[in-house]
Each structure stands twice: as C-alpha cells, then as structure tokens.
Amino acid sequence: MSQRKPQSNSRREFLGNAGAAVAATSVLGSAAKSVHAGEDNTIQIALVGSGGRGTGAAKNALTVDNGPLKLVAMADVFPERLADSYESIYNAFPEKVDVPEDRKFIGFDAYQKAMDCLKPGDVVIMATPPAFRWVHFTYAIEKGLNVFMEKPISVDGPSSRRMFELAEQSAAKNLKVGVGLMCRHCDARQQLYDRIKGGEIGDILELRAYRQAGPTAREAAGPKPDDISELMYQIREFHSFLWASGGCYSDFLIHNIDESCWMKDAWPVKAEASGGRHYRGDAIDQNFDNYFVEYTFDDGTKLFLGGRTIAGCSQQFASYAHGTKGLGVISTASHTPAKCRTYDGYQPDKDKLIWQYPPPEPNPYELEWEHLISAIRNDEPYNEVKRGTEASLVTAMGRMAAHTGQVITWDSILDCEHEFAPEVDKLTFEAPAPLQLAANGKYPVPMPGLNAAREF
C-alpha cells in the first residue's frame, strides 16, 4: 500500500480545519431562521432503512418531548422488514406514527420517495448498510433536510473523502446532522472526559479497548439460499461483506475506538494489526473473527484494541484510559450504562476509587436525539458528520492494517483508491452484486502479506 501524502486531503489539513464546518454553520445560523415542517411546529421524520437499528433509532427519536414529532414515511428494500418495523414503532408510539400504505416505499429508489414526503427542516433517519450513506446523504442535502445517520458513515478511502466533502456542504446549508456515535452523548463519559482534561488521572500514556464476545449479529454468513438474489443476500447479511458495512470490525468496534479517542482528544496517525479466521465451518463471509490493533497517536502513545467473535472464549466489552497518576474506566460492559470511574494508580482497586458516576445513567441513545432535536428547534450549530467520518476512517485504518498486514497511516487509508462498491448509487434489484463469488464458491477474503495493497 502506497503511503504517499495526498495532494489536498491530508490528515493535517482535515484536523487543521476541525472547526470549519461548525464555523460555517454558526455564520449561516445567524442569517437563517429555524425551519420546521408545518405551521403547528411538527417535525416530520422519514425512516430510510427499517432493520433493527433503524427501528430502534426511530423509537429513540419519538421519545423526545420538546415539541411535536411524527413519523410520516418509511423506506427499505425488504417489504417484510419494513412491515415488522412499522408494527413495532406503531405499537410503541401510535399517536406519533402516521405512515399509510402509500408512504411505505420499497426499492433502491425508496429513499428518494420517503424524503420527498418531507419539507425542508424535517428529519430523515439513515439506517441502511453504510455503503449507501453518501448516496442518501447527497439527496438529503439537496432537499434541505436535517439528518440522523447511523455509524459507520464511510467504509473506505473514497467514501470517506466524499463524506468529508458532504460534511462541508451540509454545514454550508445550516443543516443539523447527528451521527449515531451515541457514546459521545453519554453524561457519564462526558464527566469522565472533563475529569481527564482536568488532570485527574494525569497525562494519558495508553488506552485499552475490547469487544470480545461470541458470534455477533450477521458477522458470519453461510452459502446463499436459492430463494434470494446475490445482491439482496449480501445486503441482508451486510455485516459479512466489506463493501456493505466495512465488515464486523467497522460496525462493531467503532464505538470503542471513538470513545477512546475522545478521552485522548486526538485521532491516531497510524495502525499496525493482526487477525485471522478460525473454525469457519461453511461460512463464506469476508470477516476475520479476531483482531488485535495497535493504534499510535502523534505523541507516540498507544491505543490497544482487541476484537473477537469466537464462541467459548473469555469475554470483555470495555475501554480504559491509563494516565501517569491513575486509571479511567471509560466503559464497563456494552455501551450503556458506562459505569465510568477513576482510580488512583494503574489498577481498578476499589480502595483507591476517586470518583464514579452515580446510577442511574440517562440513556445515550435517547440523549443524542434530544440534543439533535433541540438544535433543530433552537437553530443551534449541530453537525457531527466530519467527526463521524474521522471516526469511521480511523476504524477503517485499523481494519486495513489487519487485512493487509501492513502499517496503515491516516493519509494512506484516506488516499487509498480501492473503492469497495463504486457503483452503489446505481444498484437496482436486477443489478449484479458488488462482490462476486470466486471460482471456489467462496467470496474473496483478506490475505495479509499476500495481498498488501488492498483488503480483498
């Protein structure tokens, strides 16, 4: 993999312009009045991608009580998934759901039809596989819609470059955009961040993060059944295919990476990694089922990341920050509650506890929606796309290091020209899948050392 510096998209340039999107939003915010759909101040919502996370995001949105909200349109490529999602959301919030049959859209252009039901200032939820994010976001910007998009929001260098550009465009139009890295909205983690910045554990020397569990979600895919097309199979099993999601690494580990980098208040500049495939049976997906990544920050400190999806192994789902004076527990088990704590010294010795966040913790999945809707109603600067793209790029950097066996830098992943699904904006039900089976009846998988220039 070439590690040449890109002409105009270097890490330093992006970090140097860290405030550009917010600044643009602030300037325009003073000139643009807050736009809400309808004279009754109702903010209408369209859901694009009605799987489990999309359904959850819609429910989280409808919990916000600072003004009227209504779900008015839904879109997916699987009719049965949309039907199940509608029933689940309607049963939870019947008074906030108004989605008749003629506003339930199926197909690869369904996202356009759902967004066409909205007015400028309304909100579209983007919860399809990440490969489609830049396509849908482009249309939302054209329509003047506020957005909530699930993570990751890019999966490779070319899609990251597009998202950086779209971040600037959306900020220039004063759009409010949330990205589903909900740990950034966690009250407990925010207090821990403030304490770390205040010097409670000293200077950070290293961070450790783990998501080591058994088989998770759709990270392992067996042979395709006969009753579904290749394309639809890969979309349905999106965690199994790098083009669709960045694989299980990008989808599962981004939260641990992001919350750790937040505490460090920096992004890594390079990654070295290893990983492999074990006990795969008839699984023909593209994932490794264990990853170990050493991220290095500009000052030489490290983030050590371990991921595993193998049954029968010890499990850990947590992140830690070690400083010159003490330990910060960033998360303890899954995403919430975080149970953040600080200790004097290296170990989590209960006799040396300095501080802990008192339970119960507010739900960060709901807090991120409270913050977004509040920003819309009050016309406050709010655009998380640049930071969401940075988190997605850093995640892809570690994944590429494991998949190629090479040292991957921020600039080299951003500058990499291997686009996993270059025709994703042109897909139809009749289109071929972006990934094709090899002659041996399996999909191409990463081969570290043998294929050092690209992941598959």
For the domain that residue 159 is a member of, what is the CATH number? 3.40.50.720
Question: CB–CB of 181/395 below 8 Å?
Answer: no
Q: What's the rounded Cα separation, in Å, for the pair 418 and 158? A: 7
pLDDT score recorded for residue 440: 83
Same domain, 220 and 318: yes
Same domain, 148 and 31: yes
Q: How far is CA 410 from CA 6, 23, 268, 387, 401, in A?
A: 10, 24, 7, 14, 11
Same domain, 28 and 173: yes
Question: CB–CB of 158/243 below 8 Å?
Answer: no
In a domain, 447, yes or no: no
Same domain, 154 and 247: no
DSSP strands (E only) in 54-117: 69-76, 104-106
Same domain, 106 and 131: yes
Question: CB–CB of 315/212 below 8 Å?
Answer: yes
pTM over 0.85: yes
CATH number assigned to the domain comprising residue 294: 3.30.360.10
Q: What's the rounded Cα separation, in Å, for the pair 301 and 206? A: 6
Same domain, 74 and 209: no
Same domain, 166 and 311: no
Helix, strand, coil share (%) of the chain residues, nearest 5:
40, 20, 40
Question: CB–CB of 151/125 below 8 Å?
Answer: no
Q: What's the rounded Cα separation, in Å, for the pair 81 and 98? A: 18
Q: Among 352, 383, 414, which residue terminates a domain?
A: 383
Containing structural domain, residue 131: 11-183+366-383
* CB half-sphere exposure, 249, CA atoms < 13 A: 37
pLDDT score recorded for residue 33: 37
Q: What are the tokens at 41?
A: 């101040």
- Mean pLDDT in consecutive groups of 10 residues from the start of the chain, 456 residues: 36 40 38 44 98 97 97 98 98 98 98 98 98 98 98 98 98 98 98 98 98 90 94 97 97 98 98 94 92 98 97 96 98 95 97 97 98 98 98 98 98 97 97 92 93 95
pLDDT score recorded for residue 31: 31
Residues 6+ apart with CB under 8 A from 95: none
In a domain, 452, yes or no: no
pLDDT score recorded for residue 270: 98
In a domain, 245, yes or no: yes
Same domain, 34 and 177: yes
Same domain, 377 and 419: no
In a domain, 50, yes or no: yes
In a domain, 1, yes or no: no
Question: CB–CB of 146/122 below 8 Å?
Answer: yes
Same domain, 359 and 235: yes
Buried b (16+ CB within 10 A) or exposed e, 259-276: bbbbbbeebbbbbbbebe
pLDDT score recorded for residue 39: 53
Q: Looking at this protein, which amino acid is placed at residue 341? A: R
Same domain, 140 and 198: no
pLDDT score recorded for residue 205: 96
Number of domains in the chain: 2
Q: What are the tokens at 242?
A: 């790098």
In a domain, 451, yes or no: no
pLDDT score recorded for residue 18: 38
pLDDT score recorded for residue 11: 39
Instruction: Look at the block and give the residue holding tokens 């990694």.
Output: 273
Same domain, 371 and 417: no
pLDDT tens sequence across 341-359 = 999 999 999 999 999 999 9
In a domain, 446, yes or no: no
